[in-house]
Structure 1
Amino acid sequence: MTGRTKAMRMVVALACAAVLSACVAQYRNHGYLPSDSELSDVIVGVDTRDTVAETIGVPGTSGVLDQGNYYYVGSRVRHYGAFPPEIVEREIVAVEFDADGVVRNITRYGLEDGRVVALTRRVTVTGDGDIGFIRQLFGNIGGINLGGIGDGG
């Protein structure tokens, strides 16, 4: 075998390896979920917001109100070739507080407990998009009151 043939085989082998590696599923973990042992350190009816944040960490998400619940969200996303990413696993740990800020309940949810909900949405929908430009332009024809034009006021 000549040196050129060896080089050509090496290039073909590397190209095949690159193509095959693109077809392997890759998984990425997002977010933070406290473990069961960490959650066992939180005592319902005793711990407060501050002690929960100190024990298992500050949540990635909290309730809408100032005194809302804590939500720890963890996701596992599969990336496979040219296909769009797919969420294969998602867990949410909800730490609920009463009016005094004391832990009332700790619940763990998964994808099987409900439907996938988009946590953020970057689309602003307006009502004007449903009406065409021409319809907007001529929409007020017939709605004009001509009775007040000649009265001077």
Structure 2
Amino acid sequence: MNNKRFVILASIAALGLSGCAGYREKRGFILDEQLSQAVQVGTDNKTSVERTLGRPTFTGQFNDNEWYYVSRSTSTFAFRTPRVIDQTVLRIRFDPAGNVTAVERTGKDKIASIDPYGRTTPTLGRRKSFFEEFFGNIGTVGSGGLPGGGGQ
């Protein structure tokens, strides 16, 4: 009888722990070292870079002449926040004519760790209570002279 009870408890424990398995995940661009080394300043242009590496992960927000290829490997266990194992960002800059002017590579050392400030965002001005926030707009909708109102 003890063996049967032990087997049942061991099975329940094994099922419970199976949900806590860790896993690795690779996201973004799959970086091929030889192909990324083949992009040369002064030789390549946007068309040749796209043929060699493919479309970029994203382009610069303020400058279309910057292309970024981002590759990231993470590891996580159960329900914890994923931990970055490796990251590579390949940044290729072009001149206005579309020729490569710079190829830069950065790693996970450039990842910024941002800690939130408490549970609320500090603001300037008067602090309102829950009821002031909830009932504060009663009577202002549709009144004249206020933004969004039905005034002249």
- TM class by shorter chain equals 0.5 to 0.7
Structure 2 Cα separation of the partners of residues 17 and 81 of structure 1:
14
1:41-56 paired onto structure 2 within 5 Å: 41-56=38-53
| Distance in 2 between residues matched to 1:109 and 1:45, nearest whole Å | 21
Pair member with larger Rg? 1
1:83 aligns with 2:80: yes
TM-score in terms of structure 2 length: 0.64
2: distance between equivalents of 1:66 and 1:111?
24
Matches within 5 A, 1:55-94: 55-65=52-62, 67-94=64-91
Q: Which amino acid aligns with 1:41?
A: A
Q: Map residues 3-18 of structure 1 onto 2, 5 A cutoff.
A: 5=4, 8-18=5-15
Residue aligning to 2:32: 35
Q: Deviations over 1:52-90 (max 9, x none)?
A: 011111111111246321101111122112322222322
Aligned to 2:142: none
Conserved 8 A contact 2:65-2:95: no
Select between 32-41 and 90-99 the one with higher mean Cα deviation. 32-41
Cα–Cα, structure 1 residues 101 and 17, in superposed 2: closer, same or farther, change >3 Å?
same
Partner of 2:128: 132
Q: CA RMSD in A?
A: 3.4
Structure (1 or 2) with the greater helix fraction: 1
Query: TM-score, normalized by length of structure 1?
Result: 0.64
1:111 is displaced (CA, Å) by 1.8
Q: Number of residues paired by the alignment?
A: 126
- Measure, in 1, the Cα distance between the counterparts of 2:125 and 2:11: 51
Conservation of the 8 A alpha-carbon contact between 2:94 and 2:102: yes
How far did 1:9 drift?
A: 4.3
- Does the CA-based 8 Å contact 1:33-1:92 persist in structure 2? no
Distance in 2 of aligned mates of 1:93 and 1:11: 53
* Match of residue 112 from structure 2: 115
1:129 and 1:58, CA in 2 relative to 1: closer, same or farther beyond 3 A? farther
